[in-house]
Amino acid sequence: MSNQSSNPDTLKEFKTAIGSCREVFEKKLKDYGTSWRIMRPSSLTDQIYIKARRIRTIEEKGEENLKVKEGIKPEFIGIVNYCAIALIQLRLGPGFPIGIEEALRLYDEEIDSSTSLMLNKNHDYDEAWRQMRVSSFTDIILQKLLRTKEIENHDGKTLISEGVDANYRDMINYALFALIKLVNEQ
């Protein structure tokens, strides 16, 4: 069996998916500015939860049975972007709006950090995500959200587990995996 951990397509696919997410983030910045700076991380966790629950509903009911005819790809993009915002908020704390260029710089830093984590884990797990179903990514993201809510309910304190930031980073990566799989399945 060949070692797939060095698959050159993985980084390229990640960059393409990230590019789609960043494009949406940048356009929304131009529409709304950084109004999200007012939000606490726990509110962002709930916003991400809404996105993940909608994906699960679409997976269970089918897109043809929806009243709002938007698929799951925009929701996964929303998860990536809200997780990046949550990481920025963890770093800066809720506050006043910042400039668009500063927001983009911080976004890129958080996404780059998450991508670096993915590359290290992907090496160790030998690209196992490629054999997973998109619905499994949805379930894992929902599980990580419930874990994050528990940690937030304990004022961010854990006994043995990783913190909220690690869960946001994992959610970014699982959502990017889902986006890659959705593009490859088309």
Q: What are the tens digits of pLDDT across the range 41-98?
A: 999 999 999 999 999 999 998 877 666 767 899 999 999 999 999 999 999 999 999 9
Q: Which residue has the higher pLDDT, 185 or 143?
A: 143
| Cα R_g (the chain), whole angstroms | 16
47 is written with which tokens?
A: 């916003």
Nearest to 79 by CA among 144, 127, 132: 144
Residue 63: per-residue pLDDT = 79
Tokens matching residue 171: 């959610």
Cα angle for residues 173, 152, 91 (degrees, 5° grid): 60
- Residue 8's pLDDT band (boundaries 50, 70, 90)? low
* Residue whose pair of structure tokens reads 């854990």 in the numeric block: 158
Residue 2 predicted with pLDDT over 90: no
Three-state DSSP class for residue 93: coil
Non-local (6+) Cβ contacts of 120 within 8 A are none
Residue 156 DSSP code: T
* Residue 141 Cα distances to 15, 56, 161, 167, angstroms: 20, 10, 16, 9
This prediction has a pTM of 0.93
Q: Are 113 and 34 in contact (CB under 8 A)?
A: no
